[in-house]
Each structure stands twice: as structure tokens, then as C-alpha cells.
Amino acid sequence: MERGTRPPTLIDVAQFAGVSPSTVSNVVRGSDVVAARTRRRVLNAIAELGYRPNALARHLLAGRATTIGIIARDLRNPFFAEMASLVEREVAGFGFAAMFCATDGDPEREEQAIELMLDHRVTGLVILSFLGRPELIASRINDQMPVVFVAAQEPWADSVTVDEHRGGEIVARHLIELGHRRLAFIGPQHPDRADARRLEGFLRAAGDAGLQPTVIAWDPPDGQPSIDGVTVAWARLLAGPEPLTGIFAANDFAAIDLLDVADALGVRVPEALSVVGFDDVDMARLRRINLTTVSQPRDSLVRLGVGALLGRIDGRITGAPHVTQASVTLTIRGSTAPSP
């Protein structure tokens, strides 16, 4: 068997060890009917080939697993939760079940999630966020299953993503056109590449107007905001002598929590503070939130991503990984207004 072309099977192990498939099955199941010497030979073959017993054998159909793996950074963030739900619904339409893993952006948990997917022999994998150690994950997968990134991007797999830079630029221009000059960007303490690209676009467009926004690191809801590693109080930022008047949050999750912070401080939105998010999650459209935000075409992203994955699975799509980039739009609601 040529390594890296496909996952090794029980038959491969049996041939490598010079035993019957039933003997390999007995060893894998922990049966005591196999002689110790034969057991060692089978275990050595398993280690040499990297064979993984299929924990989802009951889900096999015509020799092919019917499960699609889905890995997301944080299912508490409504964007990732909604995207995972859309992927599950899309793959279900093609007869596949879904298996979810959330990693919280922890590289070790990402590796554990990949190991779990490989152990369960998923047919394909959808990854909904940037990875902490993408090269390591690529080496672990090693072409053992098709992979597609949706709303994220890596060069070693098909990717369906959006123009993050463009999103940051249109937010800056919107706030500047409203007359805001004291601008800020809020992102997580440990930003991924999507956060970084949104910030780059925002800073570039603001810089073209001669402005230098404040960059605030914050993990809502319980984290403390900081600037250049120094903790600052929301009261100083939003209600001090020179308060910020226009804030771009890296995602709707942070933007919605920021609305709650402003309310607690008595800072009125949008009269005193304009807030813009990114993603356009369902909650952003609620009347009491009414968040201005950058809209990602979630349905299109999922449809294109799952289509690419299934194309790889059934062999219709071959060759080098392909990147599809969708456009973003600014949806203006009630959380932005002219600068006070």
C-alpha cells in the first residue's frame, strides 16, 4: 500500500501481518483468543501502517462512511453556531450525519479534534475558523480525507471565504462619513487571521483619512479591555473626557456585549456612541439590538463549501486546492448615527 494515498484498512493490516482479517479484528476488539506472538505481530502492523479502527462501522454504507466532521473555534459565538447549523442542514440533504468539535482556538484541542475525526473515519471535514497550527494539522490529515475551510482559508485545502480587508474598510468609511474621528477597533486578546485582516482594512481606510484608531483587546463578556497590554476601564473609554464615539468590533458577539456595557454606563447608542459588528448573526437583527454590521453571505458560503467538499469526496473535483472569495456588504441599522 502506498502511504498517504488513503487510510489503511483492516485488510491492509492483515496482509502486512500475514494473518486473516478476523485475527486482526479479534486483536482490535481485545479478544483473548489470539496467541501472544500473533497479537504482537498484528499490533506492530497496526503501528507501522497507522491503522485506525473504525468507531463508526455501523454508519458505513456501501463501504463509505456517512459522517461529515465540523470543527469550529467557539460555538458560544453565534456566528460559528449558526454556520455549524447551516453546514449540518446542508450535508443532511445529501444523506450525511454531522459530527461537531469546538476548539476555543486552542492548538492542542485542534489536534485532538483532528485525531477524533480520523479515529471515526469521517468522510470529509468542514473547518469553520482559522487554525492555530495549520501546518501541523495538515501533516496529521495527510490527505486521509477531503477538507474544506468555510469563512476561513488555508493554502493546503479548498477554501470558501470573504474579503475581510474589504469589510474593515467599509466600516471605517461608514463611521468617517458620519463624522466620527475618535475611532476604535475591538478584537479578542488572541486574534486569528480573520480578526487581523479586519483590523488591517479598518486601519488602512482610517489612515487614508488621517485618523489613527485605538486598538482594544477584549474577550467578552467577563474580560477586561486593554490597550497595548495595559488594562483600561470602560468608563474611561466610553464616558471619559474624550470618549470614543465610533467602535468597530471584530464580530457581532463582541459588538452586542459592547452595547450592554454602554447601557450599563449610561452611554446612549447611537446618540453618543456608534457601534458596528461583523457577521450579521440572527441576534443582530432583533429590534432591541438593531446592530449595524458587515454581512457575510452565510448560506452561499456553506453551499459553496459543502459543494466543494462533496466534489472532492466523489472525485468530481481534482487537482490543486481552490479558493473562492465572496463579497461582503454593510447592513446599516440603528446602532450608528452622526457623531455627537
Mean per-residue pLDDT of the chain: 91
Q: Look at residue 6 in the predicted model and tell me its pLDDT.
A: 67
Of the candidates 281, 282, 232, 275, which has an alpha carbon nearest to the alpha carbon of residue 255? 275
Nearest to 87 by CA among 310, 314, 319: 310
* Residue 120: predicted pLDDT: 85
Q: How far apart are CA 21 and CA 19, in angstroms?
A: 7
CA distance 335 to 276: 7
Whole-structure pTM over 0.85, yes or no?
A: no
How far from chain centre, in Å, is Cα 262?
28
**Domain residue ranges of the chain, discontinuous segments joined by +:** 10-49, 59-162+298-326, 164-296
Instruction: Report the C-alpha gap between 25 and 35 in whole angstroms.
Output: 14
Q: Distances from the Cα of 244 to the Cαs of 58, 186, 236, 248, 332, in angstroms?
A: 58, 12, 9, 11, 20
Above 70 in pLDDT, residue 289? yes
Average pLDDT over residues 171-180: 98
Close Cβ partners of 99 (under 8 Å, ≥ 6 residues apart): 67, 68, 69, 70, 117, 120, 122
pLDDT tens readout for residues 217-268: 999 988 999 999 999 999 999 999 999 999 999 999 999 999 999 999 999 9
pLDDT > 80? residue 286: yes
- Whether the per-residue pLDDT at 60 is higher than 50: the answer is no
Superfamily of domain 59-162+298-326: Response regulator (3.40.50.2300)
| pLDDT band at 119; cut points 50, 70, 90 | confident
Structure confidence by residue, pLDDT tens digits, 131-142: 989 999 999 898
Res 196: pLDDT = 96
Residue in this structure with the C-alpha cell 466600516, named with its chain if needed: 171
Query: What would be the CATH architecture of the domain defined by 164-296?
Result: 3-Layer(aba) Sandwich (3.40)
Equal fold, 59-162+298-326 vs 164-296: yes
Residue 159 CA to chain centroid, in angstroms? 12
CA pair distance 74, 234, nearest whole angstrom: 25
Q: What digits encode the pLDDT tens for the residues 180-212?
A: 999 999 999 999 999 999 999 999 999 999 999
At residue 278 the predicted structure's pLDDT band, cuts being 50, 70 and 90, is very high
